[in-house]
Structure 1
């Protein structure tokens, strides 16, 4: 192939990969793209099936054979395009070889990993090389990190003053009291969750290397409300959830402080349950899962029964299309800070309320966000920080038009300003 493709979607035959290929027909209009994986007949079948679904002839879409067990094939794939959209997980097992090959080729890379050890491990290991090769490596470009990261960017963009803290409140359509609770996530995610929980010591060591040594102590301090609580205008009982989006927001603030000397924004996120009982029970269940993940024999129990331990949200079979289509979410952000006329040694006097919402967030929205992230890197590279690096979405995209791009699509994200008030 004499001319590089703009985009190659790697792992196109997987559960999420097929959805990404479907959304690529819409999101990647005007760009050249292809698909990659290890099985030619399955890749051809994906193009045929997706083509029939969207009413397009995709038979001429280029196919590349690439297998993570064959490093040469991964390097050849990386050299055939400007950016790899990597859907091949678990990333802790299969991600590094793709990242390394992309960096060596000077090719950009995005993925949807929520695996903290992988994400932060790549930052520690390949940051300098990625900068040298002018390659942008950006993980977590799906749910729930893109809503969290770009929700913070949107709130700060619309806040008339200096932000001290942001709290996000996530509500969705899932009702855990429903005995017919529908599966929303493919079981492959469960293995990654267990791995993260069982290797917390690795994560602590990585964060010790990534956290700036001169990070300031911020006042007034944002304190976590660990108990179930209500929020005005919202219907749920909220409890804190220290998941991937919070970790990425914190890392983004570290990047901004370290590279731009910008005052970090304090961030906490909460998840809502319609029932007070579940707001108490689910955190207890998560603590139990974390405990079980520490020992090999109880890890086996967790791996054997994902449906039981996740109250039906995760199964090996994964969600049906009706399950995915019936799911939606909202995230409300409460941003607190100083007016333009205040000094930072005063108490903050204003709050901004903003909201993000989307349909089918775990899959269709994730596919759109992933592809939109890749598109923005190609079209607006001059608006990204530096000239390359292994960085977070919230550090990469705030000065680009990603927020506007995400709002163009049926399965994108809606961003709204609700109200600005004095406190």
Structure 2
């Protein structure tokens, strides 16, 4: 593609947007053509001054999420648009349409099932026609989940060990905070969930598995629960105690299932997927904590949907554009492990581990490397277009980029 830029960072004046721009300034190969975009040229210039000297000549583009013409013009100038402007249900619809129409690859940080469903319904056909890769969920939600399952599938296939069956991601260790953008997305989804049709979509475990206008009908019990505690021994014999539900399971699981659907069910006829987090290996204590997390998650989501309780929560929860200082971001980390048993009876585990606050520093690395993969490694990418997931769009290219960025990304047999 003959475009003026390789990557445009849209939303560069936001907290995570600036972190992503800083990562690209420090780690993008020399000669990578990058621009910063947002509503205010003055604020963009201030961000550019705070970046490393490598970014001093980066062009600035004024574009507004509510101005389709400005988004069209921006997308026509770049190979990849990397957007941190959320909640995406409020601010992302025009951009995803613009990118698909222009044949521009697109990466975002959404954790919103209804937005991804919108992208599938409204942009997938167009993107397939223009060759655009529209790749949602390129941060902590949902790269560890999606790549973890993909690595298992790849290793099991290489070993000739059958197909995946019950598969569980366990967040085994984490230090960090939920980002203000994630919390704001929860606010928007809580409002949307008051609509009966949206509630049905949110409760559908296969909400993202179909093509445009084709949301598969799947009962809530057709896949493991997103909010129930899990006996760790049923996940893998090496684990102890009770596992708590993972807060973002209701989104991440849909992305992983979409990857399986886009691969025509290659993970296996008996593939079922859930996400949990470790809360200790002491049986009684971990069961108590896991139960409290399960109940607390339901209470929190309910409280976010009620105006009086939301006002109280808004005083204490992080707001969009806010985040931890550099010291706290550097002190963070995460470890995810994904376990499965195959149809031949073999056990496998994949793992992703990285330093840095998951929702901020690690996410800026994952988003930045996703953008670079699409812009600079086009000849190595899978031959796919449309509305895709990280593993389907980038596969091994993203795995190798994350490893080069210091992530531990691996999969192997346990027996």
Question: Are 2:49 and 1:48 equivalent residues in the alignment?
Answer: yes
Q: Is the 8 A contact 1:215 1:257 kept in 2?
A: no
> What is aligned with 2:228?
226
- Separation in 2, partners of 1:385, 1:39: 36
* Gap regions ≥5 residues in structure 1: 175-182, 308-313, 339-347
Question: Are 2:186 and 1:193 equivalent residues in the alignment?
Answer: yes
Question: Are 2:11 and 1:17 equivalent residues in the alignment?
Answer: no
Please point out which of 228, 233, 239 is paired with 2:244: 239
Q: CA deviation at 1:205?
A: 4.1
> What is aligned with 2:410?
416
> What is aligned with 2:340?
335
Q: CA deviation at 1:236?
A: 7.0
- Separation in 2, partners of 1:214, 1:85: 27
The count of aligned residue pairs is: 386
Residue deviations 1:162-182 (CA, integer Å, cap 9, x gap) = 2323211102244xxxxxxxx
- Separation in 2, partners of 1:368, 1:415: 14
> What is aligned with 1:141?
138
- Separation in 2, partners of 1:186, 1:324: 11
- Separation in 2, partners of 1:27, 1:57: 10
Please point out which of 301, 314, 320 is paired with 1:303: 314
Q: Is the 8 A contact 1:228 1:280 kept in 2?
A: no
* Gap regions ≥5 residues in structure 2: none
Please point out which of 69, 79, 82 is paired with 1:82: 79
25 and 135 in structure 1: CA distance in 2 versus 1, 3 angstrom threshold: same
Aligned-residue RMSD, C-alpha: 3.1
Deviates more, 1:162-171 or 1:202-211: 202-211
Question: Are 2:369 and 1:358 equivalent residues in the alignment?
Answer: no
Question: Are 2:200 and 1:204 equivalent residues in the alignment?
Answer: yes
Q: CA deviation at 1:289?
A: 1.8
> What is aligned with 2:345?
349
> What is aligned with 1:6?
6
> What is aligned with 1:279?
290
69 and 172 in structure 1: CA distance in 2 versus 1, 3 angstrom threshold: same
What TM-score, normalized by structure 1, do the two folds share?
0.81
> For 1:226, what is the secondary structure of its paired residue?
coil
- Separation in 1, partners of 2:270, 2:253: 13
Q: Is the 8 A contact 1:38 1:65 kept in 2?
A: yes
Please show how residues 95-110 of structure 1 align to structure 2 within 5 Å. Answer: 95-110=92-107
Q: CA deviation at 1:246?
A: 1.3
